[in-house]
Amino acid sequence: MSTTIATPPKTRRRSRRDTSPAAAKPPRRGDLLGYARVSTDQQNLALQLDALEAAGCRRIFRDVGSGSLKHRPQLEECLSFLRPGDTLVVWRLDRLGRGLKHLIELVEDLNSREIAFKSLTEDIDTTTSGGRLTFHIFGALAQFEREIIRERTRAGVAAARERGRVGGRPPALTPDKIAIAETMRAQKKMTMPAIAEALDVSVATLYRHLPPRPAALAASPDAVTGDSAGRRAGARRHPPEER
């Protein structure tokens, strides 16, 4: 009589993916993700972190740097980490955008990706109709501010033109400097590079502003050609006598 030995059932070996921490898993639909920022290392993130954790944020991204910086690594990582259905939460509006225009653009981009936005201090939540209305008002105010700045700029340029002021880069040589350069050149004591160095301009700029000398005009290729042609014509009219 043969006996069979029962073998225990094989157990599936647990993979590394199963033992990874929960924070490394892809975000579930409807997660609250926070973003906090301070301008310098001396400032403390504790107030923002406490508020974001109390709001139920599953993960919080943190930046240290001025809000005017265009490149903020943790903000970029946060925006790429968000998925449709998630909500980006900040403690206050100025923690997120460099300005009102930048803030509006960020929230519009989140809205196009089906991601909500919430600001705790201002009590703005784009998942509600009241929050969306508030943000539309902010957008209208931003557009109004841009129009006002544009009108003021046009009015300032028009007023400056009426007073004889023209925008653009000022000339390198003023009329007084041009007169000084002409006097220096007429004295024939300094070379043109020396005059340009004394007036703090380039030699090309000096030549561009000074009229050419009469001697230079006489020695120009056209003048030389004309004189040579005249001599040749005279030689044809008065051939040399034969010896």
pTM over 0.75: no
Active site residues: 39
pLDDT tens sequence across 27-49: 445 899 999 999 887 788 999 99
Specify the pLDDT at position 243.
40
User: How many Å apart are CA 73 and CA 61, to the nearest integer?
Assistant: 10
Q: What three-state secondary structure class fits 8?
A: coil
User: How many Å apart are CA 193 and CA 190, to the nearest integer?
Assistant: 8
Q: Are 44 and 21 in contact (CB under 8 A)?
A: no
pLDDT tens sequence across 134-189: 877 877 776 777 788 888 888 888 887 787 776 667 777 788 888 888 888 888 88
Angle CA 76–78–83, to nearest 5: 120
User: How many Å apart are CA 177 and CA 195, to the nearest integer?
Assistant: 10
Specify the pLDDT at position 202.
87
